[in-house]
A and B are shown apart, each in its own frame.
Chain A
């Protein structure tokens, strides 16, 4: 029986009322009195030496207030990197300075050279065009393998090479892995590319810097997934503003997908410039600018080997990946191909030994960082494509091969340093077989054949590590931040609650789902709980939203704070009811004395806390407000099985998705409708990666896919209706809600299903194609069919 409120109810998303009626408050909706506008002059050259920047003519243009170049930022720091990876020799990664404005050289198309601040945005743009630049173009490096060859042009002259790090994981296992592969009954090898993507949130980035001369306080309004992180990074590392003099506000944010996690130079610029000119400074990215300034995602080139014994048991996995960092290290870039990727290489399978090598490379391209899934999609894609290829080589059923090698006993220590707490991979596969109607595939295959279409079925599993993350563990791995979450629960006198959270909602529905948890705990109506987020001035220090962590970590902090509230209200209730605290029960918003008919309502207790006339003042303080910080003891491990059926048009290579099914184990689910929505959106992005999206640079570092004319985003008619199921999760064992996180799953689990299905369709038609690199555009599929 579906519930109609509290945990498990598909409560309607309350925030959608304002989003759908145009009443949202996005950063670009904010205008500060007297604000000026900045236009950034960006490099249209991928690599070059700046000989001269002449701003004299531009400075004389109408409305120009001040033009900033690197000289103006000489006294401030570079944009910091938040994660230090140690290479396989024990040395720290190469970490070049990332200046706010280009210093001496430009290193990618889109890098900011100057910021023109003027009375209007158009005047700023006009003046930017009048800046005279003398840049001596240098040869660019775009291809990662070419970039690490001897003699390759260096992105950073002061570094030994373009290699950021050469990471081995687990380095001590390398010999055992090589030996297992050498002695294997069968080895399957696959080389593949995980295509570079642009996140493309609906709302482009915006930043407004403001400075109050009277108090010396700076404020940054920005499109961020984690305002406290921006405050810490920008205040401490770039501008030298202590946190108590810097407020960061991230109001309604129209999608993040990872690319709004990072601290960007534009944010530091507007904050710095506002103080310099004593006026607010606003920047709104155009969509064209977003393509060349938002951190890109993915971009791995990988070779992977799977060793199997004579009984088709997996015996070893070895993978070598080149990971593109772009021209500078974005905030979490080094962690993505290493700790968020290598630790997931066991997948859902019990493979005894695994070795992961990752070479991170600087190129003359936009910085690359986390994008929905971040490292885990790359791990899943290569592993699940590889298993599919192995099954075909061995002539065994791909599902059976997977089932045979599933981890079935929990907790399970993988050979790549993580411990899965719980899961049931056979159960999700059973569910998938049912909701995908795999038994009906042959009939559908025949129908497609009758239409002249090639039908294929692709199945895969995935596992991810979410609920990021235990702070002491990530500290050992190089994180320069903790990854706890916080919540302050404030109960008002009349019983309503305001919950201030460090999590940030930019599409996830926190304002609906979080109250469901708290209302359930107290037994009150969800409408009595309001969520406040996105402002460092009125929320406790929190780490923000990414890595499917908000409910697992932020929700857990909320539970802990609410437990403190409940404990205190029970004391008050015991006093009011003249009973022992141990006998007080809270149910449906009523405190009662066990075994009696004596009770007092939630609202009477909360009122007593603020009007403490009859109150145990000698034992407890008045008021009802509690804060909790929650630091998880482990990651959570959502997992699932996905199936995709495609039709391929043999005449054109065009792939259409006919069916898509997803069986997920997210642990407990608070709002099934929101969870389904997250899966739907994730699959749309995963299908986008598999069939449509892909960044293309030419050999000179010019971005060819620089607009929607050439960068294909998934549209509604590219996608089928989905069958999704997440009804039988195995609860996480180590957080109070038993939840695992659902935000990234769809984007992680879906690309291999699509590619597996297309390869299946071609092979059923007699083709010997074993792999096609994403995106599987019609021309690529046709080329593969006809090669």
Chain B
């Protein structure tokens, strides 16, 4: 590992940290362009998890013996790492979840039922991942008198801030919950401005950082976020672990999400009282080994430097925008001013699933479909879906070239 953040990312060297990138697909090098769905894992993450299970594993917060203390220290050290990564003020503001989806369900349940009032509405946007839509639909349909409205997305694929202002002006919005970076359009939203607008209207604000936290440095205090969610497996960490940041005063005022061990203070047969956050929201044995893996992933990207990662990806986005524009018959979904490394596109005359199969035979992995964002595809009249290439810190210009050439070949094949 490097001990100081370099100005530039040494991508060739970084790629050696990811064992899977050395594998081949039918004799061709793997071109993995689906990191937006789930990223590959560096050796540091794999080894940290193995080491935890081989040398320091036991249940946490329970045993009065050395191994359990070691495991508890490792688990809480992961929380501190997530706290630093997001710039949170207190470690207790970090709740471990299974993934971002669970974080949204937690907030929809505990904030939605606990702190939102009848007559208030939740505001999401048209470009949300289903994880930041369906839990709010369930809350709206729970009979509590809580509404759900939608901020428009412009033709360029950006959040329509005028429309956001119009909704906020109605005075009934209790929570704005929007993405910090679209998993389809790549659009990076102006989070700090959105938070200011929401707060000025008396609303709280939550961001889906599943994509953004991977590609940009995030500071929840600079943004002014009340809640912020991201997931470990897209950040080069393991599956099964995600992070919910929540302001301490909000988490403290919220009722639990799931009930069980670890989240209680006292229990009698009839009643229980709740532990303080974050334990209140972490019922049952948590994902201990996965937390250790997430810690290693955070250390890994932090050592490389989020600014260096962002600079590398900005270079890739610029290159890909120009290169994909040369592919005949290709139309990109959206044209945001500020785009992270995600491109969804349609190729004239080739259905996305046929395209994905074709590309797969050349070792190029892309996602095809609606990317858990059906309403957004409907918004752009693409009910049949799109193909999506998404980048990671290990993505190279050569891989974008391989994609572009494969797209040309696909047009020729299916024409």
Q: Do A and B bind each other?
A: no
| Chain B residues within 8 Å of A, Cβ to Cβ | none
A residues adjacent to B (C-beta < 8 A): none
